[in-house]
Amino acid sequence: MIGLDTNILVRYITQDEPAQAEWVNRFMDQLTEQEPAVISHIVLCELAWVLSRAYHYSRQQVAEVLHSILTCREFMVESADLAILAWQDYLQGNADFSDYLLSRVHQRLGASYTITFDRKAAHSAQFRLLS
């Protein structure tokens, strides 16, 4: 298996750099369910941030990209069950995907909730606002 960096996924999704996109497309065509590429939580969080901030993807577009990655058999996502829960939270909430993934990881580690100063995240039951 081979791990993917965020910039590889950005090139693949946006196709904005023709030469690099061609290389990425050829690489992605070689992936199989038996030989998938590995995607870490960090890459998912960076990808969501880059697409929304640098490429001005809407929240719905980011959610669609994340869903495509989470359901692609040629990708093996780190703790995919947590990433799927975070994706579901992201669809229903207004905080960043990274906030929801963080809270799901904390829950897996035994935390009742995550304390934060982030008012958007604090609207979710997984968070408590420190004030």
Predicted TM-score of the model (pTM): 0.94
* Of the candidates 92, 90, 85, 123, the residue with the CA atom closest to the CA atom of residue 106: 85
pLDDT of residue 61: 98
- Structural domain including 38 reads 2-129
pLDDT score recorded for residue 37: 98
Give the DSSP H/E element, type plus range, for residue 58. Answer: none
Q: What is the CATH number of the domain that holds 80?
A: 3.40.50
Report the distance separating Cα 121 and Cα 37, nearest Å: 31
The 10s digit of each residue's pLDDT in 71-117 is 999 999 999 999 999 999 999 999 999 999 999 999 999 999 999 99
Q: How far apart are CA 55 and CA 26, in angstroms?
A: 23
Give the count of domains, the chain. Answer: 1
Cα–Cα distance, 116 to 131 (Å, whole number): 9
Q: What is the pLDDT of residue 40?
A: 98
